[in-house]
Structure 1
Amino acid sequence: MRSCGRFQHDEISCSDAVATIIYKKKNREDYCSTYYSNKNFQDTYAFSIETLPSESTWDIPAHILKVIMIPPIARKQPARPPSNNHKKGFNEEKFKRSKVTYSKCGTSGHDKKTCPNFAYPN
């Protein structure tokens, strides 16, 4: 049996499992974590959360205000060294095309069908 691993990670059934559960006429809630139940959802939003007051009214101790936060020293992660043969983009030298010339008349910008110098019967 193949598993996508969604239940192991999120504790919620994937669409294939839900289809099988419905086909077997089982209760979907039995195959899902109680964390996702309707009651827990309602309990989560049952009380209101008060917003923070304006920053100008905050009472911050002086010793906290003196602390200067600096970012941590970032280390270069180990990686494969870059190669000199990177893939060239469309506008780089490798992809620049030379002008194509029509071999019968030697001029560029057209082909056999649109050559102004030769008329071919239809």
Structure 2
Amino acid sequence: MSCPQAWTAIKKKNLMADNYCSEVFKSHIVVKTYDVVVDPLPDESEWKIPTYISEDVVLQPRYKRPLGRPKKKRDKPLVELLLGKHRHACNTWGHLGHNSRSCNNEPRKK
């Protein structure tokens, strides 16, 4: 079981964990994984490598990928380019350049 919360819930309800576990994780399947005999490789001098592979030259990549998350590459609409970054507007009067806390105008009558 990979999820401890699921394991705890199954134990509290007295259910069989085998019914909720994938076949891949059951012990008899894991044992079958190691039944196959893996022969070791012979000495490097005995390897039979085709000539087209042994003569092929592998070069390093032309460029390195920069670290970090890639930057967004979207085309900004003309309106967004003309307005600039952030335009603060007062909630009370709608004037640009300040917010309602720093507004010097009289409050609106309701």
- TM-score when scaled to structure 1? 0.49
Q: Could you tell me how far 1:29 is from its partner in structure 2?
A: 1.4
Q: Could you tell me how far 1:62 is from its partner in structure 2?
A: 2.1
Matched, 1:48 2:37: yes
Q: Could you tell me how far 1:16 is from its partner in structure 2?
A: 1.4
Q: Could you tell me how far 1:13 is from its partner in structure 2?
A: 4.2
Matched, 1:22 2:8: no
Which piece of structure 1 moves more, 19-28 or 62-71?
Answer: 62-71
Q: Give the count of matched residue pairs.
A: 69
SS in 1 for 2:31: helix
Distance 1:59 1:13, change over 3 A: closer
Match of 2:51 in 1: 62
Distance 1:34 1:13 in 2: 13
Q: Could you tell me how far 1:26 is from its partner in structure 2?
A: 0.4
**Root-mean-square deviation (Å):** 2.1
- TM-score when scaled to structure 2? 0.54
Gaps of 5+ in 1: 1-11, 80-122
Structure 1 stretches of 4+ moved >3 Å: none
Distance 1:51 1:45 in 2: 15
